[in-house]
Amino acid sequence: MRSTSRTETFPAHTPAASQIFTTVLSHGPLTRLEAARRAGLSAAAVTKAVRPLLADGYLVEAADEGARPALGRPASLVRVDGGRALFIGVKVTGGELIGVLTDLCCRIRLARRVPLTDRATRAVLASTAELAHELLVEAEDFGAPVLGLGVAVSGEVDRAEGAVRYSPFLDWRDVPLAELAATTTGLPVTVENDVRALTVAEQWFGAGAGLSDFAVVTVGAGIGCGLVVNGRVVAGAHGVAGEIGHVTVDPAGPPCHCGNRGCVEAIAGEAAIVSRIREATGIPVADATEAVRLAHQGVAGVREVYARAGEAIGRGIATVANLLGPERVIISGEGLAAYDLFAEQIRDAFTAAAFGSAARCDVQTRPLPFEEWARGAAATAIQSFISSDHPHLSR
Amino acid sequence: MRSTSRTETFPAHTPAASQIFTTVLSHGPLTRLEAARRAGLSAAAVTKAVRPLLADGYLVEAADEGARPALGRPASLVRVDGGRALFIGVKVTGGELIGVLTDLCCRIRLARRVPLTDRATRAVLASTAELAHELLVEAEDFGAPVLGLGVAVSGEVDRAEGAVRYSPFLDWRDVPLAELAATTTGLPVTVENDVRALTVAEQWFGAGAGLSDFAVVTVGAGIGCGLVVNGRVVAGAHGVAGEIGHVTVDPAGPPCHCGNRGCVEAIAGEAAIVSRIREATGIPVADATEAVRLAHQGVAGVREVYARAGEAIGRGIATVANLLGPERVIISGEGLAAYDLFAEQIRDAFTAAAFGSAARCDVQTRPLPFEEWARGAAATAIQSFISSDHPHLSR
DNA sequence: TTCTTTCATTGACAGCGGAAAATAAGAGCC
DNA sequence: GGCTCTTATTTTCCGCTGTCAATGAAAGAA
């Protein structure tokens, strides 16, 4: 038995097999017949695809709990064996790294946060490697190999090349992050834009499961958007996509750091809200938390700032709905802490600006901590693993 | 030899074969090796896919003209035999039907326009059938069978079902147009949204050829948008997509017929421009043609209206670019007659509002007459034919 | 003529996924 | 318990696709 697990590969190279695996991963324990139906294949195909996956332990037979129909042979359930393998996901924010160790089912087993004082590539890389090593050591207790590392970074990311093209937040340009992280951690590395990583997690396990067209809108320091069209995450021709934060909703609006005026982010981003509240009240508000507190205390003028932010977000969502016709829009991000302050305005602005059947789009909120973003990064690593498509291996 | 050609089917049912056919259709005469490269297949696969298509006359060997490399066996070219089959495309506008007879290469052989006085379903259907019959009769001269009819209608269209869900322009709701037209014409019918049909034509033969992410923006009575993401035309979950005309670019802007304010269409649609010029000048401008003339005559206040329209269009395009990151945006539509009046504003507004690498998107104009939209309708019929996927046959 | 180069074709072959038949595993009934 | 009915899963072919490696074909060059 070889000791290195680095070269472990997934025993299902056909599109159909990895699609069946993904279906089972995403839709919990399934009977083979149900999996066949969902994947649009024959039952025989499922049996054949499942066999090697069972043999290698990636899938296991699940206990058949719950009511069974009175008639016929009882179905046997198949599910992914989470304990079979582990993955690490890291989300890089301006101030800290959020790392999670997940199992093959992408369930979070451990979570760690480490502060980040220096945003230079070398420093972030060193911290990431340290965090990954820490999780690798702890992973030994779980008795399963760690098969990949996913890193989620805001900005323009070229996932295929594993490179960060441009991250305004970190002030990085053309950093071959996957390659660098692979050499320092010894793991296969996948790099993806942070919102797209979160979108993958939602597509597999969250409110986007089973949908072929949906959007994830993240509200917080920045305002971002992950799009799924025809079942695929949209990456854009130049690595840019989903920049809902820089959709103009009011040409007479406040200037944005991007150089334009009236972007959603310039009205509803945390920095914008805080500075707008300062202007309106004269109170030296420090951060978003304090801003929310002031709003709840009923300080005059604060609620209006949130109302305007909600309107901007609602318009941005309507724009997405008008252009792409998604089935659902999932609102998430730290900014949801203030959701009660602008829920109504989001909904009203969306309804007013959504055109025709686009208004039938289901807009819902999901509070997701940063650990969920890191989980999304792990999900991209799992994607790379099951598609046996690791552009950047450890050597 | 059977006389009925209605049941003629395409002899390539595999995805690979129809992909190779589409590649040859779209990229002109190709060597087999070149076709293999473009389709991502082996040369052997091309040889095998091409053989039955040659046998049935859909493809032919093309004369090898032009410079050949000095060395090696000269390549033999393959191209689609346009004369092998014919298709009819019809674009329905508020005032007329535009019909074209195209060959299998989707080259327009004949074009006809008939006025439309009544927009009721029955009347439009009768006129469409009449137009189709006229073209069918003329088609006999070409000695090739007519294998399909494509109809392009503005509004929400369910292509798979062949139904018009809602067309505000025609005031139709849930009209099973494909079924109705199939029974009156005896042809397999494909129904598609008009802008998406035009987008298919651009994807195959126009400025979108070879691109996996681009957008077509149509400027005219309405402002529409066809989107191609990951190589596929976006249809949206509810049949709505690409409603750039109802993207809000100025919440303080004029009211739109959709009930909202400041939509692109409410600023840059023909009706909006005309009425805005009337307000500004007091001249009872009748239509867009007259409006353009006034602008060119330098009547005070008219150019400003166009400038504002250009700004709105540029912002709308920037919104598309920010959300989807297309490689190219193609501006077309009757409104291009006025393009010199707002080209600068479109470009400036786009550049100002495009975020990061989204600004690298190539924005270009293509004047395309309505016949080109009808050709797009024919292209959708060809699509249905080669994918052997006719939801609505003649019986 | 013979060699070289490049394009195209052929034939063997592996593997996928489907259809249909066979098998498995209950539950109910006698 | 044995039989039957029903539904889930597996097995057994079987056709088909696309690849590989080898071969053929069609030039120009030596």
Unique residue bearing structure tokens 């396990």 = A205
In B305-324, the residues whose Cβ lies within 8 Å of chain A are 315, 318-324
Q: Which residue is nearest to nucleotide D4 (CA to C1')?
A: A72
Asked if residue B1 has pLDDT above 70, the reply is: no
Q: What is the mean pLDDT of chain B?
A: 92
A84-200+371-386 — its CATH code?
Answer: 3.30.420.40
Name the nearest CA neighbour of A93 among A156, A153, A175: A153
Q: What DSSP assignment string belongs to A127-144?
A: HHHHHHHHHHHHHGGGTS
Convert A32-56 to b/e letters by CB count within 10 Å (16 or more is b). Answer: bebbbebbebeeebbeebbeebeee
Q: What is the mean pLDDT of chain A?
A: 92
**pLDDT of B314-361, one tens digit each?**
999 999 999 999 999 999 999 999 999 999 999 999 999 999 999 999
Q: Which two tokens stand for residue A336?
A: 């949801």
Q: What DSSP assignment string belongs to A232-280?
A: EE---TTS----GGGSBS-TTS-B-TTS-BSBHHHHHSHHHHHHHHHHH
pLDDT at A377: 98
Evaluated on CA atoms A276, A281, A282, A287, the torsion sign reads: negative
**pLDDT of A256-274, one tens digit each?**
999 999 999 999 999 999 9
Distances in Å between the alpha carbon of A269 and those of A256, A263, B316?
Answer: 10, 9, 22
Could you state, in order of their start, the residue ranges of all structural domains in chain B? 15-80, 85-200+371-386, 209-365
C-beta atoms of B319 and A259 within 8 A: no
- What's the CATH architecture for B85-200+371-386? 2-Layer Sandwich (3.30)
**pLDDT of A321-347, one tens digit each?**
999 999 999 999 999 999 999 999 999
Domains B85-200+371-386 and B209-365 share a fold: yes
Cβ A238 vs Cβ A331: under 8 Å? no
Neighboring chain B residues of A325 at a CB cutoff of 8 Å: 234-241
Mean pLDDT of the region A208-219: 96
Phi-psi region of B15 (alpha: psi -120 to 50; beta: other; left: phi over 0): alpha
Name the nearest CA neighbour of A336 among A265, A392, A280, A288: A288
pLDDT at B3: 36
Of A343 and A390, the structure prediction assigns the larger pLDDT to: A343
**pLDDT of A72-99, one tens digit each?**
888 899 999 999 999 999 999 988 999 9
Strand D: which positions are within 7 A of a protein CB?
A: 5-12, 16-21, 24-29
Q: Which residue is nearest to nucleotide D12 (CA to C1')?
A: A44
Collapse the DSSP code of A115 into the 3-class scheme (helix H, G, I; strand E, B; otherwise coil) and give the result.
Answer: strand
d(CA B309, CA B265) in angstroms, rounded, equals 9
Q: Say which of A168, A212, A236 has its CB closest to residue B325.
A: A236
Of A119 and A395, the structure prediction assigns the larger pLDDT to: A119
Report the distance from CA of residue B37 to the C1' of nucleotide C7 in Å, as an integer: 13
pLDDT at A48: 94
Asked if residue A155 has pLDDT above 70, the reply is: yes
* pLDDT level of residue A392 (50, 70, 90 thresholds): low
Unique residue bearing structure tokens 């799992």 = A382
Neighboring chain B residues of A235 at a CB cutoff of 8 Å: 325
Q: Say which of A211, A319, A325 has its CB closest to residue B236.
A: A325
Query: Looking at the DSSP assignment, which residues form a beta bridge with residue B30?
Result: B78
Mean pLDDT of the region B200-220: 97
% pLDDT > 90, chain A: 86
Mean pLDDT of the region B277-288: 93
Asked if residue A394 has pLDDT above 90, the reply is: no
d(CA B158, CA A59) in angstroms, rounded, equals 39
* pLDDT level of residue B9 (50, 70, 90 thresholds): confident
Query: Is the minimum CB–CB distance between B326 and chain A shorter than 8 Å?
Result: yes
Asked if residue B176 has pLDDT above 70, the reply is: yes
pLDDT at B72: 80
Distance from CA of B7 to the nearest CA of A (A): 28
End-to-end CA, chain A: 21
Interface probe with A: pick from B248, B308, B311, B330, most Cβ of A within 10 Å: B248
Interface probe with B: pick from A169, A319, A362, most Cβ of B within 10 Å: A319
* pLDDT level of residue B236 (50, 70, 90 thresholds): very high
* pLDDT level of residue A3 (50, 70, 90 thresholds): very low
Could you please state the CATH topology (level 3) that the domain comprising A15-80 is classified under: Arc Repressor Mutant, subunit A (1.10.10)
Q: How many CA atoms lie within 13 A of B218 on its CB side?
A: 25
Q: How many CA atoms lie within 13 A of A270 on its CB side?
A: 20
Distance from CA of B68 to the nearest CA of A (A): 34
Burial class (CB in 10 A: 0-12, 13-18, 19+), A74: exposed
Name the nearest CA neighbour of B50 among B82, B11, B85: B11
Q: Which amino acid is at A310?
A: G
Cβ B152 vs Cβ B193: under 8 Å? yes
Q: Judging by DSSP bridges, how do beta strands B77-80 and B59-62 pair with one another?
A: antiparallel
Cβ B378 vs Cβ B102: under 8 Å? yes
Could you please state the CATH topology (level 3) that the domain comprising A209-365 is classified under: Nucleotidyltransferase; domain 5 (3.30.420)
Q: What is the CA radius of gyration of chain A?
A: 22
% pLDDT > 90, chain B: 86
C-beta atoms of B241 and A352 within 8 A: no
Of B228 and B95, the structure prediction assigns the larger pLDDT to: B228
Cβ A30 vs Cβ A38: under 8 Å? yes
Query: Is the minimum CB–CB distance between A254 and chain B shorter than 8 Å?
Result: no
Nearest nucleotide (C1') to the CA of residue A76?
A: D8
Asked if residue B2 has pLDDT above 50, the reply is: no
Distances in Å between the alpha carbon of A130 and those of A115, A122, A153, A380?
Answer: 12, 12, 17, 21
Residues in contact with strand D, defined as Cβ under 7 Å from any of its atoms: A 31-34, 43-44, 46-48, 50, 69, 71-77; B 13-17, 41-42, 44-45, 48-49, 70-74
C-beta atoms of A234 and B229 within 8 A: yes
Query: Looking at the DSSP assignment, which residues form a beta bridge with residue A370?
Result: none
Query: Is the minimum CB–CB distance between B15 and chain A shorter than 8 Å?
Result: no
Distance from CA of A323 to the nearest CA of B (A): 4
Asked if residue A175 has pLDDT above 80, the reply is: yes
Burial class (CB in 10 A: 0-12, 13-18, 19+), B139: buried
End-to-end CA, chain B: 21
Residues sharing a CB contact under 8 Å with residue A120, sequence separation 6 or more, in sequence order:
none
Mean pLDDT of the region A109-122: 94
Number of A–B residue contacts, CB under 8 Å: 164
Of B382 and A10, the structure prediction assigns the larger pLDDT to: B382
Neighboring chain A residues of B258 at a CB cutoff of 8 Å: 355-356
Strand C: which positions are within 7 A of a protein CB?
A: 4-11, 15-20, 24-28
**pLDDT of B101-149, one tens digit each?**
999 999 999 999 999 999 999 999 999 999 999 999 999 999 999 999 9
**pLDDT of A30-44, one tens digit each?**
999 999 999 999 999
Distance from CA of A30 to the nearest CA of B (A): 26
Asked if residue A2 has pLDDT above 60, the reply is: no
pLDDT at A253: 93
**pLDDT of A220-263, one tens digit each?**
999 999 999 999 999 999 989 999 999 999 999 999 999 999 99
Cβ B162 vs Cβ B221: under 8 Å? no
Order of strands, sheet of B328-332, starting from the edge strand that comes earlier in the sequence:
B232-233, B223-229, B214-219, B328-332, B362-365
Q: Say which of A236, A246, A249 has its CB closest to residue B251.
A: A249
Query: Looking at the DSSP assignment, which residues form a beta bridge with residue B359?
Result: none
Q: Say which of B230, B241, B250 has its CB closest to residue A324.
A: B241
* pLDDT level of residue B390 (50, 70, 90 thresholds): low
Asked if residue A1 has pLDDT above 60, the reply is: no
Nearest nucleotide (C1') to the CA of residue A70?
A: C27
pLDDT at B395: 41
